[in-house]
Chains A and B, each alone.
Chain A
Amino acid sequence: ELKVEQNPLFLSMQEGKNYTIYCNYSTTSDRLYWYRQDPGKSLESLFVLLSNGAVKQEGRLMASLDTKARLSTLHITAAVHDLSATYFCAPRMDSNYQLIWGAGTKLIIKP
């Protein structure tokens, strides 16, 4: 069974700081997705990481994937209030292409 652990589950930080969210998963997966969810809203795609060593950046967010370590990271640089949201990682199972979702990291960025 594929298990996904996100760390931390809750993060409160000041604007301007840097931080990293970690996503560990338990079995082989060839790709991983990061999504953002604002309170009361649906999920919005941020990144798709398609191979080992993949790195993608969009604004103050950068995501990376290490399939050998079964680890993905989402790094936030110089955080701003608008990045406050819950972030989910979802690796894709090799066997049936289904996404398995982490519990989410709730990020609060204080002005």
Chain B
Amino acid sequence: GAGVSQTPSNKVTEKGKYVELRCDPISGHTALYWYRQSLGQGPEFLIYFQGTGAADDSGLPNDRFFAVRPEGSVSTLKIQRTERGDSAVYLCASSLTLDSSGANVLTFGAGSRLTVL
């Protein structure tokens, strides 16, 4: 697609529920990133994929968070047993690749705003 698409744009759920957030990156971008942004703060890294594999998941806060990218394109961020502290905007970004050369500019989606009541 022309840009990074994220769905849903807004999700309100109850504490303890399961949530899935979807990201459709720019066609041809092999690198995909998930970030979390709370009000008044910068993006917080969660996980990064190169192709189908999670190259770095060190930012996932705990084992309730999981992400997949089975075919190297669309990715889903999954949150189990949601807590009120999970409320934030979840941003997805993609880039052509991630290596030592080139600009590797990240293009961000509009985000999914998650509210846990």
Using CB atoms and an 8 Å cutoff, list the residues of chain A in contact with chain B: 4, 33, 41-45, 48, 50, 88, 90, 96-104
How far does the alpha carbon of A57 sit from the alpha carbon of B104 in the complex, in Å?
19
Q: Could you mark each residue 74-117 of chain B with 1 if its beta carbon is under 8 Å from any beta carbon of chain A, else 0?
A: 00000000000000000101000011100111111111000000
Chain A min CB distance to B111 (Å) = 6
A43-B103 in contact given A98-B56, A99-B45, A103-B41 (Cβ < 8 Å): no
CB of B106 within 8 A of CB of A45, answer yes
A96-B45 in contact given A42-B108, A42-B111, A48-B105 (Cβ < 8 Å): no
CB of A50 within 8 A of CB of B103, answer yes
How many residues of B are in contact with the other chain, CB < 8 A?
22
B-chain residues with CB within 8 Å of residue A100 when the two chains form the complex: 45
Q: Chain A's interface: helix, strand, loop or mixed, by majority?
A: loop
Contact among B41, B100, B110 with A97 in the assembled complex (CB-CB below 8 Å): B100
Residue from the set A43, A44, A48 with the largest chain B CB neighbour count within 10 Å: A43
B-chain residues with CB within 8 Å of residue A44 when the two chains form the complex: 108
A97-B99 in contact given A42-B108, A103-B42 (Cβ < 8 Å): yes
> Which 10 A-B pairs have CB atoms at the shortest separation, nearest pair first?
A101-B42, A42-B108, A43-B108, A48-B103, A42-B110, A101-B43, A45-B105, A97-B98, A103-B42, A104-B42
A-chain residues with CB within 8 Å of residue B110 when the two chains form the complex: 41-42
Residue from the set A44, A48, A97, A104 with the largest chain B CB neighbour count within 10 Å: A97
